[in-house]
Chains A and B, each alone.
Chain A
Amino acid sequence: MTLSIIAVIAVTGAALGIGTYGVKLARTTSDLFVASRAVSPWWNAAAISGEYLSAASFLGVSGLMLKFGASALWLPVGFTAGYLTLLLFVAAPLRRFGSYTIPDFAEARLPAPYMRLLAAGIVLLISGCYLVPQLKGAGVTLRAITDAPYWVGVALVSLIVALNVSLGGMRGVTYVQAFQYWVKVFAIAFPALLLLIHLGGLPARAALFGEEIPRADRAMVIELDAPRPVTFPDTGETRVVSRVELARGDAFPVAEGIDAQTGDEWSRPVAESGRGSPILIYSLLLATFLGTMGLPHILVRFYTNPDGSAARRTTVRVLGLLGVFYLFPAVYGLLGRAFTPELYVTGDTDSVVLRVPAAAWPGPMGDILAAIVAAGAFAAFMSTASGLLVSIAGTVSHDVVPGKARKRRTRFRIVSVVGMLPPALLALATPNVDISVLVGWAFALAASTFCPLLLLGVWWPRLTASGAAAGMLAGATVATGMIAAGLIGDVSQETAAGAILTQPAAVSVPIAFAAMIVISLRRPPQNVSAVMAALHVPEPVSP
Chain B
Amino acid sequence: MDVLLGVLLGVVLSASVFAVSRLLAPRRVLAPGEEGVRAALHAAAATLPHLRKGLTRESAGKAIGHLHALTQAAGVLIDDGETVLAADGLPAETRHVSLKRDCPSLGNALDWLPDSSRVEVHSGPAPFGNTVVAPLMVGGERIGRLAAFYGPERRLRPEDTRVVSEVAALVSAQVELSVLAEQEERLAQAELRALRAQISPHFIYNALAAVANSIHTKPEEARELLTEFAEFTRYAFRGNRSYVTLADELHYVEKYLRLEQARFGDRLDVRVSVAPEVLTAVVPVLSMQPLVENAVRHGVEKAVGPCRVEILGADLDTDVELTVRDGGAGMDAEAADAALHGRAGGIGLANVHARLQSTFGPEYGLEVESTPGQGTVVKMLVPKFRAGVRAA
Contact = CB atoms under 8 A, between A and B. Distances in A.
Binding between chains A and B: yes
B13 to A, nearest CB: 4
B13 A478 contact: yes
B225 to A, nearest CB: 14
A36 interface: yes
A482 B18 contact: no
A29 B317 contact: no
B279 to A, nearest CB: 6
A290 interface: no
B282 A98 contact: yes
Contacts of B275: 26-27, 173
B254 interface: yes
Question: For this complex, into which size category does the number of interface residues on chain A fall?
Answer: 35 or more
A405 B364 contact: yes
B388 A108 contact: yes
Contact of A501 (B2, B17, B317): B2
Interface in B242-264: 245, 247-248, 250-251, 254, 257-258, 261
Contacts of A108: 385, 387-388
Nearest to B311: A35
A172 B210 CA distance: 42
Contacts of B17: 473, 477
A408 B363 CA distance: 11
Interface stretch (B4-12, B111-119, B129-137, B163-171): B4-12
Interface in B344-392: 363-364, 381, 383-385, 387-390
Contact of A174 (B2, B9, B245, B276): B276
Interface string A360-379: 00000000000000000000
Interface stretch (B120-128, B196-204, B265-273): B265-273
B266 to A, nearest CB: 11
Given A306-B245, A412-B317, A481 B6 contact: yes
A33 B18 contact: no
Interface in A31-74: 31-33, 35-39
A115 to B, nearest CB: 11
B237 to A, nearest CB: 14
Given A482-B7, A501-B3, A507-B10, A39 B387 contact: no
A173 B390 contact: no
A264 B334 CA distance: 82
A497 B2 contact: yes
B317 A38 contact: no
A225 B133 CA distance: 92
A443 B120 CA distance: 67
Contacts of A304: 276-277, 280
Nearest to B364: A405
Given A306-B279, A477-B13, A35 B272 contact: yes
A440 interface: no
Contacts of B227: none
Contacts of A390: 317
Contacts of A156: none
Contact of B363 (A30, A172, A404, A484): A404
A312 B7 CA distance: 37
B3 A496 contact: yes
B390 A470 contact: no
A172 B277 contact: yes
Contacts of B10: 477-479, 481-482, 504, 507-508, 511
Contacts of A26: 275
Contact of A481 (B9, B254, B276, B390): B9
Contact of A31 (B13, B270, B388): B270
Q: Which secondary structure characterizes the binding site on chain A?
A: helix
A500 B3 contact: yes
A33 B272 contact: yes
Interface in A502-521: 504, 507-508, 511, 515
A174 B270 contact: no
Interface in A94-130: 98-101, 104, 107-108, 111
A198 interface: no
A491 to B, nearest CB: 5
Interface in A399-436: 404-406, 408-409, 412
B319 interface: yes
Nearest to B4: A497
Contacts of B274: 27-28, 35-36
B316 A408 contact: yes
A306 B247 contact: yes
B61 interface: no
A501 B387 contact: no
B318 interface: yes
Contacts of B18: 470, 473
A303 interface: yes
Contact of A406 (B13, B317, B363, B384): B363
B191 interface: no
A542 B248 CA distance: 10
A496 B3 CA distance: 8
Contacts of B390: 98, 534
Contacts of A28: 272-274, 276
B213 interface: no
18 contacts: A29-B271, A31-B271, A32-B272, A33-B254, A35-B279, A35-B311, A36-B251, A108-B385, A306-B245, A306-B279, A405-B383, A408-B319, A409-B316, A477-B14, A477-B17, A481-B12, A491-B2, A500-B3
7 nearest CB pairs, A to B: A108-B387, A478-B10, A481-B10, A482-B6, A497-B2, A477-B13, A405-B363
Given A30-B272, A35-B272, A405-B319, 18 more contacts: A30-B273, A31-B270, A33-B250, A35-B311, A38-B247, A38-B279, A39-B277, A98-B390, A100-B318, A100-B385, A172-B317, A306-B280, A398-B318, A408-B319, A477-B10, A478-B13, A481-B6, A504-B6
Interface of B: 1-7, 9-14, 17-18, 245, 247-248, 250-251, 254, 257-258, 261, 269-277, 279-280, 282, 311, 313, 315-319, 363-364, 381, 383-385, 387-390
